[in-house]
Amino acid sequence: MQDPPLTMIVRTAGTNCEGELRRAFELAGSRTEMIHLDALISDPARIERADILAFPGGFSYGDDIAAGRVFSMKLRTKLWDALCAAAERGVPMIGVCNGFQVFVQAGLLPGFAPDAYPDGAPQPSISLTQNKEARFIDEWPRVEYPSNSKCIWTQALAGCSDDPALLPIANAEGRFVAADSATIAQLESNGQIAVRYVDNPGGSQGSIAGICDPSGRIFGLMPHPERYIEWTHHPYWTRLSPEQTSRPVPGLVMFKSVVDAVASQPA
């Protein structure tokens, strides 16, 4: 019998959501392995064992210089080739909150760029910057999942925008901005916008909460789906109807969708 997919969760100094990510993936049916970024840098070939890669939220390296900057530069300078090879063999990746900030700065998202640095990594065309009111936001905003998105993590949630369609956020630099309007238009036309805010508390351009790369496999989002994997996590779960709670929990749907997709692939 084939082993369940292996999710490799990459942590480092200051990340603090890796435990929640591990539980989410295990509830979704995946095996998990927690690995420190420095251990991966010392042996990049270990990435070849991963069926899924996950980068947790938190405040990596104390958000020194900017949120996710040190973590992302380590990826670019030490693991870029290994990550590109993983992407080419179809490994799904998720970056949550700080992980999304890391993906953007490292060049993994949005996955298209007309210009590149000398090392071949793309120049950033999007950013996650200070929220519009320059404050840390910790709440559960309503979200929606565009039906045209190619993101494999959220396709099963497409069209879901009723009351349970909330996701928790906790960030100070979560406002999505793009270099120009053409970048937003390209994300839209490519089906790369995976999650949108309904209320948009941080002031993100286009109300964007999460995007994927052109393949739909690499996914970054500011909300924390790993904090919404049981109905009792919902901020007013006692008021949800039996019909609502009879459905799969939205956060867990993301993880299970990908674990099942990977598990169904031929060995």
What's the CA gap between 119 and 181, in Å, rounded? Answer: 27
H-run or E-run covering 195: strand 193-197
Catalytic-residue membership of 224? yes
What's the CA gap between 27 and 240, in Å, rounded? Answer: 22
Catalytic-residue membership of 84? no
Which DSSP symbol is given to 237?
A: G
Catalytic-residue membership of 226? yes
Helices (H), 134-240: 181-190
Looking at 18, 144, 173, 226, which residue is catalytic? 226
Looking at 17, 97, 151, 212, which residue is catalytic? 97
What's the CA gap between 114 and 125, in Å, rounded? Answer: 9
Which residues make Cβ contacts (< 8 Å) with residue 163, sequence separation at least 6?
A: 142, 240, 244
What's the CA gap between 239 and 233, in Å, rounded? Answer: 12
Among 16, 180, 197, 52, residue whose Cα is nearest residue 110: 180
Looking at 144, 173, 212, 224, which residue is catalytic? 224
What's the CA gap between 100 and 96, in Å, rounded? Answer: 5
Q: Which residues are catalytic?
A: 97, 224, 226
